[in-house]
Structure formats: structure tokens, C-alpha cells
Structure 1
């Protein structure tokens, strides 16, 4: 791939796209600014014009992922024809399916590399915006217990997502439904909805 000057086109977007692709292929530990620059077709020095370190680049990738998760959850909560309980179940399912579709990004978003989100303002803002989608949906379901339900539902969906992407449900001595089905069933139980349908 030919090297291009750092000021070509939308360099930042190109670097983020390349980083996201390499992350999916090799994981965060193997990702370097040099490899990202090579994949984006720019000089080795070019990434430093936007990202002072590898961690800042990873934080930007994680911020994009949080924005994508927030959009997916907001879309699940947008169907006014469905009750708020069913929409919360949709959000739980969307969360698990997001993790399964993007396991490397999901691990990065919540992993130790970026545990101190306050060091990366854009990442902190994106993570809080995603969580706020859940809090608002839970509060619409139960104004008094909304934050508690949001924390409980997040913990439930997050644990289920991690178990699913780590294939921990394989070969268990009990029947395990598909992750999306299990996510909805567990959310329904948490919300006190019989048979997964609120009355």
C-alpha cells in the first residue's frame, strides 16, 4: 500500500476505520500506531497529528463504539407502539447482540486499557451517553426505581454478553437458548413480566 501524506482526505476517520479493522482482527493488545498507519496508507508519523498515543487512538475507537451502542439502544427504545417493558427487553437483546457482533470493540470499551475514562473526555462522554439511554428507558418504565433497574439490567446484559462471546454456554449440562432469547427472558424476569410480555 502506497504511503500518502498525513493531510490527505479525512485522516482521522481513516485512522479510526483502520484501527477498528485491526482491532477486530488481532485484538487491542496487538494494535500499534505503526500498524494502523500502514493499514490506512499513511506515513508512520501521521497518526500523531490526531492521536498523541496508542491509548488515545484506542479511546477514540471505544468512543465510536459507545456511540454505536447508544444509537442501537435508542432505536430499540423508539418504537412507541410497544410498551416500555418490551422496549427494555429489546434494549437488553440489542446490548447482547452488539457485543456478539463486535467482541473486540466490546472488550476494549470495558477493558482495563481504558478503565480511567476521565483521561479521555470524548470517551467518558460517549460512555455516559450510552448509559443514559438505558437510565431514561428504565425510568420511563418505573420512575422511582429507574436507576436501580438500569444498573441491574446493565449488569445482567453485560454478564450475559461476556459469557456469550467467551462461549461459556457451550456444552453446559442444561439446555441454553440462543443468547438473544436468553437476554429477553432474563430481562422479562427482572422486570416482573410474565412470559416476556407485560400486561
Structure 2
């Protein structure tokens, strides 16, 4: 990543946060490190985000927005609820830094308006499609739990992946058990 040069400092700090989380996890970032990575003074991130929780809140909101876009694209492309679940797993793998922050309210401000709006949009896309395959109100929760759990197990290396194909194929097969 190249340092910030009078462009979008907010974007540069968020990109630095993604890089730092990828390297050290979300608990390991600091505003000083993000400023260094973005090539600005410590005051730059503070001006835009206030504190570390502000950066992580913005990153979580961005993540939920990206997730909602991925889920909507899968739904539009395939009209298959299982493929929406596969898109969820793919998002977690391709946007791991975002994913690691999105579901950690201890790291961000969960009542932030932008975060709430993005989280609600993603949630509706994820759980709302379950009504097309089941009348049970808990089907959406079951589907989300299944895909979220699988994504976490895959990301942490807890699964013995030598017995599984790629994550998309495995997620698809697992989702088909619940939603044939």
C-alpha cells in the first residue's frame, strides 16, 4: 500500500486497518500503527475516526455493506438461497479482516447509525431469503448460524480441510443438508 498523498485519508486509514488486522488480528491494531501505515501523523486517524473503536466501527459498517452487496448479487444471479449462503462464506474468506470485526461488538460501536443500517440490510438479505425455502421463522437464523459457523471453522483452521473440497463446494454441500 502506498502512503496517503492528499487524497482520501479515510480510505487510506481503513486500508491500513485491513492490512494490520490481516497481520495481527483486530485486537493488535493501534491508531499510531495505522497512521504510520497510511504515512500521516497520529492526528490524521484521530481527526476522521476519533479512536480505535471509531476505525473498527467504520470497518464493520463497510464490511456489512460489502456483505450485503455480495448476498444481493448472489440472490439476483442465481435465485438460489443456498448460493446466498455460499456467497456469505466466500465473503468471509475474501474479506477476512472485515469479517473478524463485524461480529465483535466489543470492538466497535454497535449503535452507530451507518453500522446499524448496513448490518440490517445484510441481515435481511441473509435471513429473508430463507422464507422462500421454509415457512419456519427460525430457518433464517439456522441458515445464518450454519454458514457463519462454517466460515469461522474454515478461517480458523479448525476443520480438517484435507477431507473437504474448496470452501464453496463444502459450504454448498453443507447448506443443501438444511435446505435441500
TM-score using structure 1 length: 0.80
Task: Kindly report which structure 2 residues correspond to 1:4-43, keeping only aligned pairs within 5 A, or say none.
Answer: 8-43=6-41
Describe the superposition over 1:136-170 as per-residue Cα deviations: whole angstroms up to 9, x where unpaired.
3223344x43x422111000001111111111122
* 2:167 corresponds to 1:169: no
Distance 1:3 1:149 in 2: 45
* 2:168 corresponds to 1:180: yes
* 2:103 corresponds to 1:105: no
Q: 1:12, 1:50 within 8 Å by CA — same for their partners in 2?
A: yes
Q: 2:130, 2:140 within 8 Å by CA — same for their partners in 1?
A: yes
Aligned residues: 179
Q: Counterpart of 2:73?
A: 75
Distance verdict in 2 for CA 1:33–1:140, change over 3 Å: same
* 2:53 corresponds to 1:63: no
* Corresponding residue SS for 1:43: coil
Q: Counterpart of 1:125?
A: 117
Distance 1:123 1:136 in 2: 19
Unpaired runs of 5+ residues, structure 2, are none
Q: After TM superposition, give the deviation of residue 48 of structure 1 in Å.
A: 1.6
Unpaired runs of 5+ residues, structure 1, are 194-199
Structure 1 runs (4+) greater than 4 angstroms displaced: 1-4
Further displaced range: 104-113 or 58-67: 104-113
Q: 2:65, 2:118 within 8 Å by CA — same for their partners in 1?
A: yes
Larger Rg: 1
Q: After TM superposition, give the deviation of residue 17 of structure 1 in Å.
A: 1.6
Q: After TM superposition, give the deviation of residue 102 of structure 1 in Å.
A: 3.0
TM-score using structure 2 length: 0.87
Distance 2:3 2:140 in 1: 48
**RMSD (Å), alpha carbons:** 2.3
Distance 2:161 2:151 in 1: 17
